[in-house]
Structure 1
């Protein structure tokens, strides 16, 4: 029909940043059925990787049985895997890719421009196995400032089948597409080009069409735009446009069916652009940190924007607080989370506090502060993100507070906003030493408070874990909390006890009613 460019779908690879590369098998079956009937040419189904620390799911490692199943379900499509150049050495290539011969057609390599020489050696090894090779070269918005790495294009002509411009920050504008292609053509007239756009500024569609207009041979998109950070060009948008132009044939029933399935997933993980992603795109700031901040829902958008502006301006925090004094003050602490078990066992908690006046009470956040305003026990309030404002909203008269507001160590990336009247009762941790899982988790801060106060016996309640189906915020919080608790378990002199049922693992569970008369 006159189409001179290829279309690559990378939903399972780029979308995996939201669900740890774990996709429901039924969803994948529907996805494969759609793709097989679609005008999509290449399907990037995930990474192939050496073993890495931490959890990464099925489509990060793409075991051979997975690739065989995908090829069976999409027999007419060219399957693609990607190697992350920073993790993969030449010596890994044969073990990773030899089993893929006859199943996949192309290997893409994610390349940092400063590592082009290393990527070229990888490509040579990949080529010996008979695969097409594509370079996904990151940070396109910075190339005009430092195009020197493009001199290596002479070395890859005939070696690399596609040279992708990757808009890593999602900040490229239409005029940048032609200017960047012109720069590339100064070094190589013939190497086939590709474009992979992110959608921070909602320019992915316009930039993709501009790249096609300027001779790109292949472009990427994903179903519903599912992809890292703000996401990618929506495949359904691209295909609908091309169908209207007479460049593809399209079954809209099949398209609407797969889009509906991924929209269900989107309601859980909430990919797509927002104000922080727009700011990071416009200023060429990395999306990884924004994705974590947005994903945990710990900070309001205004705080995330402050943090991004601080990064751009190389600024540190605006407030340095007194440091919480480290010395042995308490033997026991009760850390209260935001879970419903605090409500269910409220009377028991009150009785335990009455029976143990020397026990210090540490609030991991502001949710249940009002319930314990009358408790005579020393209290500490672990505050991050918007918790200071939540505390202020709950307690209009600060004289009711019987303790100290404790913040993460200085400098705090978000800056520090403390409502007027709380500043004089606010301190900060010197450091968080027992875990690397988080610097700003209410749970981590609460535990560090207890450790700094010399506590040997820590009780927990209100950390129930989430039941049944959980959204992305709850999933990320659960994973973070479990890592923090795992790290606490390594401190042999600390006894940690949960006083109500929880879904967290590898904990000591007791009953709160065992500890009250």
Structure 2
């Protein structure tokens, strides 16, 4: 999986969006502004801001954010003088009105996400983003649930809809490097736009998977400071950049200043850096969205069932991100089976 071409790689930093999952979307203005300023000073090309589930997602179902979308974007925009500002949007939570508000607040890049086999839901929103003058990117979530050929087909659809880049999310941290290689290779053969990869670390493979993605032709890689993110966390930003530099890939990032930004993130954003505990491991093996960790732990404790069994059951049901309501149903089903036994 060693990269053979020393191509430039654009690093996309969703610390202030994906990291929100780990703190129940409660980052405040001071935290957002300080880290955004540190990332900007380090030369991080793209910094993503927002609720963990993206524009318009603050809700009882997935958690109310401390700040509104507008407050978060305005706060970050003040200090992002060099880095481009990005947001995530999932149709069903975010709307065209949210997109217009985001671009009004200075967003440069908008990612529209869909389940791995449902790219058609991105068509209208990708068109709106292009009309607004921002860069439109298409994202496939839970991508391990589709074959390389299916993912290539879905990415080609998003390119036809106007996506200027496409990105695979390993939302459950389920991939091994060869899984990434096969999928990125298929996608780069199917589209003429940049391809990206977003890893989670449930099996401890996030950096290795990201390097495999670059070797297969990906030119956009996501990573978070100290891996700050849901469950076992994301690809660790400062480690990724160091590894890419060792392989000879240019990122344009000052690694010394990036290390300082990572130290700041650990000190001010998170109770502790993410770790691969037994629950995160079960999530990765079962192929279940990493953001389900805390809801699963809570529901399992209430009903007296083992969280490992809950993740196995959710994986069997092929539950996807956004189906949090299925957690309690799975827990109750397991509890009932236990009573019958």
What range is the shorter-chain TM-score in? 0.7 to 0.9
**Residue 370 of structure 1 corresponds to which residue in structure 2?**
none
Are residues 1:67 and 2:73 paired? Answer: yes
Moved over 6 A (4+): none
Are residues 1:85 and 2:91 paired? Answer: yes
Aligned-residue Cα RMSD (Å) equals: 3.3
The 3 A distance-change label for structure 1 pair 249 and 93 is closer
Are residues 1:202 and 2:204 paired? Answer: yes
Give, in whole Å, the separation in 1 of the partners of 2:193 and 2:337. 44
**Residue 280 of structure 2 corresponds to which residue in structure 1?**
277
The 3 A distance-change label for structure 1 pair 244 and 175 is closer
**Conserved 8 A contact 1:9-1:43:** yes
**Conserved 8 A contact 2:91-2:112:** yes
Gaps of 5+ in 1: 315-407, 419-517
Give, in whole Å, the separation in 2 of the partners of 1:240 and 1:149. 30
Q: Mapping of 1:412-491 within 5 angstroms?
A: 412=335, 415=338
**Residue 22 of structure 1 corresponds to which residue in structure 2?**
26
Give, in whole Å, the separation in 1 of the partners of 2:39 and 2:46. 9
Q: 1:48-103 CA deviation, whole Å, 9 max, x = no partner?
A: 217744652245x421x542332221111100111112323xxx314542562471
The 3 A distance-change label for structure 1 pair 189 and 155 is closer
Deviation at residue 33 of structure 1 after TM alignment: 2.6
Q: Which of 37, 42, 46 pairs up with 2:46?
A: 42
Give, in whole Å, the separation in 1 of the partners of 2:278 and 2:101. 44
Give, in whole Å, the separation in 2 of the partners of 1:281 and 1:203. 10
Q: 1:32-52 CA deviation, whole Å, 9 max, x = no partner?
A: 231112131101111321774
The 3 A distance-change label for structure 1 pair 415 and 97 is farther
Q: Mapping of 1:263-412 within 5 angstroms?
A: 263-264=266-267, 268=271, 271-294=274-297, 298=301, 303-311=306-314, 411-412=334-335
Question: Please, what TM-score do these two structures have when normalized by structure 2?
Answer: 0.79
Higher relative contact order (CA 8 A, sep 6+): 2
Figure out how many residues of one structure are paired with residues of the other and give that number: 316
Are residues 1:97 and 2:97 paired? Answer: no
Give, in whole Å, the separation in 1 of the partners of 2:47 and 2:137. 13
The 3 A distance-change label for structure 1 pair 180 and 244 is closer
Question: What secondary structure sits across from 2:168 in the alignment?
Answer: strand
**Residue 321 of structure 2 corresponds to which residue in structure 1?**
none
**Residue 434 of structure 1 corresponds to which residue in structure 2?**
none
Deviation at residue 276 of structure 1 after TM alignment: 2.4
Deviation at residue 214 of structure 1 after TM alignment: 1.5
Question: Please, what TM-score do these two structures have when normalized by structure 1?
Answer: 0.54
**Residue 127 of structure 1 corresponds to which residue in structure 2?**
130
**Conserved 8 A contact 1:49-1:96:** no
Question: What secondary structure sits across from 2:229 in the alignment?
Answer: coil
**Residue 217 of structure 2 corresponds to which residue in structure 1?**
215
Question: What secondary structure sits across from 1:80 in the alignment?
Answer: strand
Q: Which of 52, 57, 64 pairs up with 1:56?
A: 64
**Conserved 8 A contact 2:144-2:174:** yes
Gaps of 5+ in 2: 1-5, 318-330
Q: 1:224-263 CA deviation, whole Å, 9 max, x = no partner?
A: 11112221011121123244456355252x4444333433
Structure with the bigger percentage of helix: 2
**Conserved 8 A contact 1:199-1:230:** yes
